[in-house]
Structure formats: C-alpha cells, structure tokens
Structure 1
Amino acid sequence: MNYIIQVDFFKKLLTMLRVEKDIDSDRFKEYSKEVKIGLNLDEENYLAKNAQMYIKAFEEYEKEFIEENSYIFENYIVNFIYSNLFPFCERESIFDSYIMLLIRYTFIRFYLVGMYIYHKKNKEALNKALSKEEVVRFIQCFSKVVEHHKTYLIDLLNYIKEHDFNNLEFVKTLLP
C-alpha cells in the first residue's frame, strides 16, 4: 500500500521539478519521460487504474535488482553523508536532513522502478534498465540535476513542512 502513496507523492515532486522547463540535462529529461510512460502518470485516475501494477513492479524491482545490488545505494548514501556533512546539510534540523536524505533515496528508487516498467513494457533493453552501469549513470545524473537545482530542494522541504509530512508517520510510508 505504501508504494501507491509513494507513487502519488513522487508524481507531485516530479511535477514540482518542472523537468521540461527548468532542467537542461537531456539525459534526465529522457529518464523522466520513461518514468512517466512506465508508470502511466499522465493517465486520468492513474492510481486506481494501476495500483496492482505499482505494487508488483516495486516488489519485482526490489527482488530482481535492489537485493543483489544494495551496495550501489549504500555507496550513494555514504557518499552523500560525507560530502554534504549530514546531518547538518539541510537548513532547520537534523530530522529535516534525515527526511531529505530518505526522499532522495526513495525518489531514486521511484525513478528506477518507472524506468524498469518502461523497458519491460517496451521489451527493449530490459537488461539495460537492470544493469549496474545504467543505475549508476542514472544516480549520477539525478544527483547533478537535483543537488544543483537552485531552488528545488528548498521548495521540496517547504512543501513537506506545509503539508505536515515532517513526521515519523510519513517517514514510514517512504521506507520499503
């Protein structure tokens, strides 16, 4: 059930990022397009129509890729912690930093699941979507886009606070 909540939440974050207008990276635009198509995010009632597909896709991706390659995500998190002086990297509090780190990780996972579904649906280069190299390439691209965006992370933290998502209940919905 949390996967459905995550899809809805991250669709909002994707909309806030304004990929087509604010992002210069063609590679990231292509990744975003694949996610939208893969997860059917532009359909009306996308959550109701695709709930079972989301659950299945997240579980499949977890089993087929993340379990065997968790070290990639661990390396990302460790690198983030050291290069950004976590937990003192966000403005207000240590808890804000924790939530923002968790959102970065789960947003990456959301993108990867969307790309996985896209390639699975189109039966093109599914191995590419599951390759370690492609995942690392995506994480690098994601980090450049999100971390270097002038206002996105600040806007995101403000959005979380305005909607009272800065609590442990919300954190539990993001955790796999």
Structure 2
Amino acid sequence: MKWNGKRMKEKVLLPSYMKTFSCIGNACEDSCCVGWTVALDKKIYKKYKNIRHEELTGKFNKGIKRIKGTTASDAKYAYFIMDQQKRCPMLNEENLCGIQLNLGEEMLSPVCTTYPRILNTRGSEFELSAKLSCPEITRLALLNPGGIEFDQTEYEVKSSWAINTVNDAQSIEGDDIFWNLREFAIDIIQNRNLSVSDRMIFLGIFMNKLQDVVEKKQYGSIQLLIDEYRSKLGNRDYVSSLENIADNIPMQIKTLLEIIMLRRKLGINSQRYIDCFDNMIMGLDLDLSQEIEIRDIEEKYLFNFKEYFVPFLNEHEYIFENYLVNYIFENMFPKINTEQIFQQYIKMSVIYAMLKMHFVGISGQNKGVTTDLAIKLIQSFTRVIDHYPSYLKGLIEIVTINGFDTVAHIASLLKDRTITSERLDLMNN
C-alpha cells in the first residue's frame, strides 16, 4: 500500500453512522485519555523525546516509560504513565490534549489519532467502524431504530491511523466466501421476525455447522451451507421451533454470580462501569458480605426481567440488534482462517449474555431503563471488556469451565424468558 502524503482518498466500506461522527472533545462524559494505557510506537516515541517545547518537554521526559523485555515491539515501544487520577500526563485542566493543542494532530500517536475508529483491511479492501467504548459512537451506532446500514464510499484515510490487517487462509476457495458469511451473519441479526435472543441462537446453530465444514477444509461447500440456512431462516416452521427452546434462569444466575466474584477479584477501576455494576448489585438485592444462593436471587431476577427490562426490550430491541451488528462488523466476524469459528461465537455470546444480565439488575434498581442509562451501561461495559483483557478472558473461562460451551448451553444462556399472559399471572401470584 502506498500513501500519497499524509492523507488519501480510499474506497471504504463503513456503517452510515461513521459519516456523521466527530469527537466532541471535553464535552464527552468519559474521556478516552483517562484510565487507559496509551501505547506509543518507536517512531512517535523518538519524536517526543527530541521535541523541545516549554510546556511539553518536561511532561515527555517524566510521563513516558519504555517497554522492555519480550513484550516490547516497534508498535508497542513505550507508554504514557497515568497520574494518580489515572489521567494522561498530556491532558490540560480543560481535559484537552496538550500535544494536539501545541503540536497539531499529526503529532499524536497512532493509538490516539485513530481511536475510536477501527480501520480493518482484507486484501485491498478498507473497512472503517468504531469502538462502542466511545459514548458519542455508542449513541450514533445504537440509537437508530432503522438499524445499521452500510455504504461503500470514498473516505479520507489518514496515514497515521493504525491498520488491522486480516489475512484469510489461501486455501479458501472463492474471494466472496468471507463477505457472504459476514453478510449472512448480519442478515440473521437484523431479521426482526425473531427476537434478538433467538437470532443469536440461530446464528450459533449455523456457526456450529460452519465449524465442522472448516475443520474438514470443505471450503467449497460453505456457500451451500449459507444457502441451506438462509432457506431455514425463511422457513416459518423452523423459525417457530426456536421459540420452544427453554431458558435456564438458574444457569444464567450462576454465571452472573461468578461475574460478580470476578469483578471483585480484578479490582476494575472504571468509575462509570463501577456505578453500573453497583446498580446491578443493588437492583438484585444482593448482600455480598454473605454467601448467596441461586434460589435467593431467582425470584428478584425474574421480577426485574418481567416488570422493568422486558418493557424496555420490547420498545428498544433495535439497540441490542445494532450492538451485535456493530460487533460483527468491527471484529470481521467470523474469521475463518483461525478455524476457531465456534469459539468466536462463544466469545460474542458471552459478552452479549453478560451485558443483558447487567441490564436486568440495573433495571430493578432504577425501576426501568432509559436510553441514557442503556448508553452508559453499554459504553462502560465495552470499555472494560476492551481494556481489561483478563476480565473478558475470565468471563469466557466461567462458561467453558462450567461446561456451558455447547450449542445447547449457549442457547440456554442467551434465551430470554417468553412472557405470556399465563406466565405473567403465575409470576405475579
């Protein structure tokens, strides 16, 4: 790839919300320069060390630390040392970046100048999306009732942006397979004839079959598999059978309790997420000083679900749909070159199931959910997942250690309880 100067126009596939995004700076409710480790590559590190500037030179000398040992690389060569308030040393009192103010945007590190954007390439194709750990992106991406749409358009790509390159296995037959797979995954999640939980379950059934095909390296039959399951997605009888899959509330609560223990063990310090986490605890009437039994929570969990969460879900199901579509696009899901198709699906399912359990608890504490509260939870939860790798790893281990990593178990973990008039009467009595 050749860059002509610092910027160039490229044909880029992007969700429509990226066309209107711009950083809102110090008006943002959660600074991306607070609480995060900002990595510096070797090139920008040397530039910073050679700068002579009345305000910044001292900050560069005191605020940057080299990464040494086997973990060091040209891409991750050093990092900014956060102060006692977990703030980047380059931030001024107005929460604006001193580097950008004094030296210009071109002197920002690739991490800083790219975030929250995610620029992926596969071959000569560019894709641009963004992280939901940014509050403004979360609003733009999730609050569109019409769903996320995609456009291929000319877009100004900066040479300083970090690029993630995805290389599919050379043995895969046909350049269109990757695109067809992901297009079908998005079509499943955007199929509003099904509840979001049933869409995820259908996707899991398909991914499990795809895993078999990829393991046998039968790449030529992937399109046939897509066609088969696209037909099933349009089959009313098959789709209706998904509604008969039973939920497993005790398993969901057991998983939730282990999440709580994991959060306490890791000591996550993102205040926005801690606020949401504490709300979840209070909304479930949990006393963490005592041993908690699943049966002690089940009644409260189901009450919150029925009384407070379901009304919000029924009116704003598109938020959860958009969340999953953005996840699929941002992560280039599924990556068939890894041959770990179903493991990728498990990761996606665990994140979504955990997020939904947070919603159930928080809805009880707040006697419902507003869109502002939903944005705060999703954004802060995404930030923690992205920037505390041990948290996500621990979440996945909870599922695998308990043997919940089969199609049937994941379905039970994802499944929403169907609230019928008969069941409402039973739950109210």
- Provide the TM-score with structure 2 as the length reference: 0.36
The equivalent residue for 1:126 is none
Give the whole-Å Cα distance in 2 for the aligned partners of 1:138 and 1:31. 6
The equivalent residue for 1:79 is 326
Give the whole-Å Cα distance in 1 for the aligned partners of 2:339 and 2:277. 30
User: How do residues 158-169 of structure 1 correspond to structure 2 at under 5 angstroms?
Assistant: 158-169=397-408
The equivalent residue for 1:7 is 253
The equivalent residue for 1:18 is 264
Report runs of 4+ in structure 1 exceeding 6 Å deviation.
none
For the pair shown, the structure with the greater C-alpha radius of gyration is: 2
- Name whichever of 72-81 and 57-66 sits farther off: 57-66
The alpha-carbon distance between structure 1 residues 61 and 109, as it changes in their structure 2 partners (threshold 3 A), is farther
Please say if residues 17 and 152 of structure 1, whose CA atoms lie closer than 8 Å, have aligned partners that are also in contact. yes
The equivalent residue for 1:40 is 285
The equivalent residue for 1:111 is 358
Q: Does 1:30 align with 2:275?
A: yes
Q: Which amino acid aligns with 2:363?
A: Y
Q: Does 1:137 align with 2:382?
A: no
- Listed as ranges, the gaps of 5+ residues in structure 2 are 1-246, 417-429
Q: Which amino acid aligns with 1:135?
A: A
Q: Does 1:151 align with 2:396?
A: no
Give the whole-Å Cα distance in 2 for the aligned partners of 1:141 and 1:2. 27
Q: Which amino acid aligns with 2:262?
A: M
The alpha-carbon distance between structure 1 residues 49 and 14, as it changes in their structure 2 partners (threshold 3 A), is closer
The alpha-carbon distance between structure 1 residues 160 and 67, as it changes in their structure 2 partners (threshold 3 A), is same
- Name whichever of 155-164 and 61-70 sits farther off: 155-164
CA RMSD of aligned residues (A): 2.3
- Name whichever of 1-10 and 107-116 sits farther off: 1-10
- Listed as ranges, the gaps of 5+ residues in structure 1 are 121-128
The one of 95, 99, 106 aligned to 2:342: 95
Q: Which amino acid aligns with 1:87?
A: P
Q: Relative contact order: is structure 1 or structure 2 higher (C-alpha 8 Å, sep ≥ 6)? A: 1
The alpha-carbon distance between structure 1 residues 8 and 163, as it changes in their structure 2 partners (threshold 3 A), is closer
The one of 163, 170, 173 aligned to 2:409: 170
Give the whole-Å Cα distance in 1 for the aligned partners of 2:263 and 2:335. 24
Compute the displacement of 1:92 (Å).
Answer: 6.7
Please say if residues 3 and 58 of structure 1, whose CA atoms lie closer than 8 Å, have aligned partners that are also in contact. no
Identity over the aligned pairs, expressed in percent?
A: 28
Greater strand content: 2
Say which SS state the counterpart of residue 315 (structure 2) adopts.
coil
Q: Which amino acid aligns with 1:34?
A: N
- Provide the TM-score with structure 1 as the length reference: 0.82
Compute the displacement of 1:157 (Å).
Answer: 2.7
Say which SS state the counterpart of residue 151 (structure 1) adopts.
helix
Give the whole-Å Cα distance in 2 for the aligned partners of 1:47 and 1:7. 6
The alpha-carbon distance between structure 1 residues 92 and 56, as it changes in their structure 2 partners (threshold 3 A), is farther
- Name whichever of 51-60 and 131-140 sits farther off: 51-60
Give the whole-Å Cα distance in 1 for the aligned partners of 2:280 and 2:390. 22
Q: Which amino acid aligns with 1:3?
A: I
Compute the displacement of 1:5 (Å).
Answer: 2.1
The alpha-carbon distance between structure 1 residues 119 and 61, as it changes in their structure 2 partners (threshold 3 A), is closer
Give the whole-Å Cα distance in 2 for the aligned partners of 1:153 and 1:118. 25
Please say if residues 258 and 398 of structure 2, whose CA atoms lie closer than 8 Å, have aligned partners that are also in contact. no
Equivalent residue pairs, number = 166
Please say if residues 385 and 392 of structure 2, whose CA atoms lie closer than 8 Å, have aligned partners that are also in contact. yes
Compute the displacement of 1:172 (Å).
Answer: 2.0
